[in-house]
Structures are given as structure tokens and as C-alpha cells.
A = this chain, B = another copy of it.
Amino acid sequence: MPQPELLETFPNPYPGRDYEIFMTTPEFTSLCPIGGIETDADELALLKGGAPDFATINITYVPDKVCLELKTLKLYLWSFRNDGIFYERVVNRILDDLSERAAPRWMRVVGDFNVRGGIKSIITAEYGVRA
């Protein structure tokens, strides 16, 4: 299960200025809740678990009072590893968790998922309005 309680923040050192922080990691992985577009039940029985999904996660935000601490952000993203969750939920859930913890002036989360069934998917969600 995603563990938003892992997330830590530190005071924004330049709160008087609107500036942008972009972070990206190609190392996101979770499981598909129902086996996935490419995996049938026989396979899953052999493996005793869901089929893995892989994505690059991009996070952009304008900090307000606090900034997201990089080390615990890494731990938070790792916490999806053995969680069965759909693409649309992954991106919106990360946006909800990070924006609740950091209360940014604006935030965007993009999940760029690996090809499944010959189709690549990219989901983009935003919080607040870009100044």
C-alpha cells in the first residue's frame, strides 16, 4: 500500500518567490490489480502475484511554505512496489498525497507507463492553477 506517511518536507528557503521544482524518476513499479492486459490467470497462478507495471514519474510544483524532501519522496514512490493499482489511480493518488503533504501553489504529476499490448499510456493530472 502506498505510504504517504513516509513523506517529509523542509521549509522553503525562498518563499517570497514563485519558482518551479521538477523531479523525474524512471524507476517506478507497481502491480496490476487484475493481471493486466498481457497476462492471463494461468500465468498469475504460477507466479502467485499480480503482473508488474513500470513507469517514469514526473513531478513539477511551485512550493509554498515547504519543499518535498527527496530521500523520503524516493521511499514513498518505492512503497507502490507490491501494490495492485490501475494507471489512472497511480497518477491521481500521487498527486493527492504529495499536494496534501506539501500544499504547493501548483503541482503536476505525469505517469509515463511502459508499452502493454503494443500500446503506451501517459496520464497527466494537475492540482491548483499555474500562475
Point out residues on A near B: beta carbons under 8 Å.
Answer: 3, 6, 12-14, 17-27, 29, 37-40, 43, 46-47, 49, 51-52, 54, 63, 67, 70-75, 78-79, 81-82, 86, 88-89, 91-92, 114-126
Contacts and interface: CB of A to CB of B under 8 A. Distances in A.
A75 B47 contact: yes
Determine the main DSSP class of A at the interface with B.
mixed
A103 to B, nearest CB: 16
Given A29-B29, A75-B47, A13 B124 contact: no
Contacts of A92: 13-14, 17, 19
A86 B14 contact: no
Given A27-B118, A92-B13, A124 B81 contact: no
Contact of A125 (B14, B46, B125): B14
A32 to B, nearest CB: 10
Contact of A124 (B22, B23, B89, B114): B22
